[in-house]
Amino acid sequence: MAQEWLDKQLERNKELYTEKHLLKTAITTWNVRGAAPEKGSLPATSLHNVDMAVLCFQEAAFAAAWSKPEKQRFLDTLEEECLGGSGHVLVADCLSSGLLTLVYLAPKHTQHVGEVFIGANKPAIFKTEEALAVALRIHNSVFCVVNTRFHHSSDSPEKRNAFHRNILETTALHCEATGTSITLRDCAVLFWCGDLNYKTAAPRKEASSLLEKKQFDLLARYDHLGMQQKNKNAFEDFAESRIEFPPTYRIVPTQSEYALSAVPCYPDRILWRKYDGVFCLSYASGERSFHSDHLPVVGEYAFFIHASCEDKKNGLVQTMLRHIDLYENSLIPRAELFPVFIDIGTVYFLARKFTSFSVVNTGNTILRYAIETEKPCRWVSFGTSSGVLYPGQKEKIPVSVCVKKSDATKMNTEVLLPEIVVRVKIKGNGEKLVHLHGVFAKTLLCTSLEEHVRRKTTTKPDGTKVGVMVCPWHLWRLLDLLQKKITTPDLFLDLGHKKLVFAVLRALDTKTPLTDEMSSPGGVRAAAHALLILLRCLSVPVIPPLYRPDFFEADTPSKARKATAHIPPVHKTTFLHLLSFLTLLVTKNHTAGKARIATAFVKPLFGNTLSEKETKKAEAVLLLLLAGTND
């Protein structure tokens, strides 16, 4: 894409790195009527004063039969008489059917000749019609001359017009050396010459009168070609110098008189494409016809060709490449993040902490991005982001951190909260990082009952001291508070305010006193909710999974109490304390029905992995224990 843009810019800005060189060219066209011109029969011209000489012959099929010596003799004669021994070099020698085109260049220009293109066009309908196009690349410009002979058997110009359009639209020129092809429209300078066979509309009597008076410009007004150009039927894009020479057809060979069999006319012409910047210096015909019934026509022209200055071109290319770099850089999505280092402080278990960072589009194009953490991180979540920002736009990305049971157990063993690396992936330009740092406040809520247990020392009669396991102190603190406020309505049914619940949990972890606020109904309900959370977060439930079957088989209170005897000591002590509290609760709190309390405590006591069937069995066991009935 960049190369395509560069090529277009170089083409548009040619004038910045090209120099114009004025080239003088002489073009001769002559229908030789099948006879090779001999010494003394060639038209006297000033071709030796020009940079390029082009000689176009029609009905020159004889050249195809020449031997090499015969051809060389012809060329030597041509160069001597037409070029005056100026040293012009033959750079193109093309023969197609009856058309012969020779192109000579002054020695100073030969080193700048590149490809030589040749194209022939001969329709199958009219054997007398043919065209031969020869093009040269000189410096950076392609010069082309089309040598043609049009149909001559009719005075009607329509067939000639059609052949002109056919040549212009279908002729392709090929270079054998490089294998490249061009069309006539690709040429910078295009000349068209030859025996075009356009007749005249002048009556014989008037034509003879104008000839006697040498009013050739008035005679040219009757020319069919001029009329077709004016009506835009043919050669509408071509120009011709004013005709101020006698008609070139039909001449009595070797004489200077016109044959009586045809009205004198101008079939032999030289035209050029209008917009190619060509200037005509002279336009004339030969004075004698020699062996042909046509007079030769010679024109001298000047036009500019463009030559590249490599230093200027390279400088322009470098400038354009810098522009391409700037343009391509401007298309690169760019973003800035701030802040890139965020200290989230102390993170407490289950307490959600909020922070944020911003993404700013600092580029000149639409920014598309996606957010993710470097490693899977369950305790970090991001607020909704659009993922698309226009230049100059900013978006704030909310970040929340919340450590739950599944991660708290591992974090309890580490000093710092694991570093959180947030990746902001920018489409088309890599990624940017945001680093989150913090400290996790260790919690006992996600550990085992053994780590919760409170031990105290007692002395035996023999004087030895032993540790006696009692209720885990976290549980003891909560039960102590709840027993004092056991009549609080909707205890364990209406959950307390989340802020108060987290305050209770934090007080348990930090071993700080529960505030007076906890004595209010809302605070008591928050403590009840905290008790349920504490039980749910135990690494091993109060009733371990291994001992569940014994409970599920119990169908009387005594069997249920017997199942209790088999669970580990700490779990047994904890369960009995809880059962004692719940029994007191359903007795003294009229809002706490047995069924409702059993439902609330099933999973906190038996674990979160109970199936629906196991849940119903566990509820039934709790109801038996709360009922306190004997077998």
| pLDDT the model gives residue 594 | 86
Band of the pLDDT at 629, cuts 50, 70, 90? very low
- Alpha-carbon distance of 214 to 216, in angstroms, equals 5
**Please, which pLDDT band fits residue 450 given cuts at 50, 70 and 90?**
confident
Domains of the chain: 1-15+310-330 (no CATH), 18-308 (3.60.10.10), 335-440 (2.60.40.10), 470-627 (1.10.555.10)
Residue 628 has pLDDT above 70, yes or no: no
Mean pLDDT of 327-332: 82
Instruction: Evaluate whether 567 touches 547 at the Cβ level (below 8 Å).
Output: yes
Three-state SS at 356: strand
Task: Pick the more confident residue, 153 or 21.
Answer: 21
pLDDT at 415: 55
pLDDT at 609: 87
Taking the C-alpha atoms of residue 433 and residue 445, their distance in angstroms, rounded to an integer, is 33
Reported as a single tens digit per residue, the pLDDT across 463-473 is 665 555 566 77
Residue 40: pLDDT band with limits 50, 70, 90: low
The β-bridge relationship of strands 189-195 and 141-149 is parallel
The predicted pLDDT at position 630 comes to 39
Helices 569-588 and 557-564, interaxial angle, to 10°? 140
Are 102 and 108 within 8 A, CB to CB?
A: no
Half-sphere exposure of 561 (CA within 13 A, CB side): 13
Alpha carbon of residue 70 to chain centroid: 63
Structure tokens at 450: 């053994």
Mean per-residue pLDDT for 405-417? 72
401 strand-pairing partners? 353, 380
Give dist(CA 141, CA 160) in Å, integer: 29
Model confidence pLDDT, tens digit, residues 187-230: 999 999 999 999 999 998 999 899 999 999 999 999 999 999 99
Q: With 90 as the cut, is the pLDDT of residue 235 above it?
A: yes
Q: Which of 428, 424, 437 is nearest to 358 (CA)?
A: 424
Range of lowest pLDDT (242-246, 279-283, 455-459): 455-459
**Chain segment 524-565, per-residue pLDDT in tens:** 888 889 889 888 888 889 999 999 898 888 888 888 888 888
Is the predicted pLDDT of residue 457 greater than 70, yes or no? no
pLDDT in tens, 596-624: 888 889 999 998 888 999 999 999 999 98
pLDDT exceeds 50 at position 261? yes
- How much is the pLDDT for 186? 93
- 309 falls in which pLDDT band (50, 70, 90)? confident
Scan for tokens 């176009």, then name that residue: 56
Q: Which two tokens stand for residue 565?
A: 């005897």
More confidently predicted of 495 and 333: 333
pLDDT tens per residue, range 463-518 = 665 555 566 777 888 888 888 888 888 888 877 788 888 888 888 877 788 776 67
**pLDDT over 80 at 353, yes or no:** yes
Among residues 504, 532, 498, 497, the alpha carbon closest in space to that of 604 is found at 532
Closest to 51 measured CA to CA, from 104, 128, 120: 104
3-state secondary structure 80-147: HHHCCCCCCEEEEEEEECCEEEEEEECHHHHCCEEEEEEEEECCCCCCCCEEEEEEEEECCEEEEEEE
Q: Which residues contact 44 (CB under 8 A, 6 or more apart)?
A: 81, 286
Q: What is the mean pLDDT of the chain?
A: 85
SS3 30: strand
Residue 203 CB: number of other CB atoms within 10 A? 11
Measure CA of the first residue to CA of the last residue in the chain; give whole Å: 92
**Using CA atoms, how far apart are residues 412 and 442, in angstroms rounded to an integer?**
5
Cα three-residue angle 323-325-330, rounded to 5 degrees: 95
Q: 516 has which bridge partners? A: none
Kindly state the percentage of the chain with pLDDT values over 90: 37
* Alpha-carbon dihedral angle through residues 492, 496, 499, 503, given to the nearest 10 degrees: -50
Query: Residue 453 above 90 pLDDT?
Result: no
* pLDDT on residue 78: 82
Contacts of 559 (CB under 8 A, 6+ apart): 553, 631
**Closest by alpha carbon to 144, among 290, 310, 25?**
25
Cα separation values, 555 from 314, 438, 561, 579, 619, Å: 99, 51, 11, 17, 12
- pLDDT tens for 310-320 read 778 788 888 88
451: pLDDT strictly greater than 80: no
Examine the pLDDT at 459 and tell me if it is beyond 70: no
Identify the band that residue 631 occupies on the pLDDT scale cut at 50, 70 and 90: very low
pLDDT tens for residues 102-153?
999 999 999 999 999 999 987 654 556 899 999 999 988 999 999 999 987 7
